[in-house]
């Protein structure tokens, strides 16, 4: 059985890669587990995954927080906002199939779009919370 955080990440990655509107906005399947050097921009990369015990007396469970970084070189907020919208549409409330776990729910809990002043472009961070139980 996979660790729940890995199972959530794998399912999220597959859901994002399958969303043609998102890959069109990114100019290809530029969605990464780890951002490679020289990656094409715009892109989406998983940055942090934190899993916590969420068990009750008779049931093992976890909550996993997943952070996604959206990278752009656009001087306009519009590109980042469009990518954010597609990610949220693809994942918020999605009924993803996890390896070794049952997904109770998946919710977007935080979005921040920021202008990178030194480089004069926009980036964003999104955080999702996944509640899971073992199969």
Dump pLDDT digits (tens) for 75-93: 889 999 999 999 999 999 9
Q: Which two tokens stand for residue 116?
A: 């990178």
Q: Is the pLDDT of residue 43 over 70?
A: yes
- Average pLDDT over every residue of 17-22: 97
The whole-number pLDDT of residue 129 equals 98
What phi and psi values does residue 9 have, to the nearest 5 degrees? -60, -45
Top pLDDT among 50 and 75 is at 50
| pLDDT one-digit tens code per residue, 91-125 | 999 999 999 999 999 999 999 999 988 877 899 99
Q: Is the pLDDT of residue 132 over 90?
A: yes
CATH code of residue 95: 3.30.2000.30
- Average pLDDT over every residue of 17-34: 96
Q: Per-residue b/e over 83-120, b at no fewer than 16 CB within 10 Å? A: bbebbeebbeebebebeebebeebebeebebeeeeeee
The total domain count for the chain is 1
DSSP code for 27: T
Q: Which domain holds residue 98?
A: 4-134
Share the mean pLDDT of the chain.
94
């Amino acid at each position: 059985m996979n660790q729940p955080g890995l199972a959530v990440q794998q399912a999220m990655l597959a859901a994002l890669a399958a969303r043609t509107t998102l890959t069109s906005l990114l100019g290809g399947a530029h969605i990464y587990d780890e951002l490679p050097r020289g990656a094409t921009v715009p892109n989406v990369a998983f940055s942090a995954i934190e899993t916590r015990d969420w068990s009750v007396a008779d049931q093992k469970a976890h909550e996993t927080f997943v952070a996604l970084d959206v990278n752009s070189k656009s001087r306009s907020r519009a590109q980042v906002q469009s990518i954010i919208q597609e990610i949220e549409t693809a994942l918020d409330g999605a009924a993803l199939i996890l390896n070794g776990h049952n997904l109770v729910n998946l919710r977007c809990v935080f979005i921040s779009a920021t202008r990178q002043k030194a480089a004069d472009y926009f980036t964003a961070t999104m955080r999702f919370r996944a509640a899971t139980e073992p199969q």
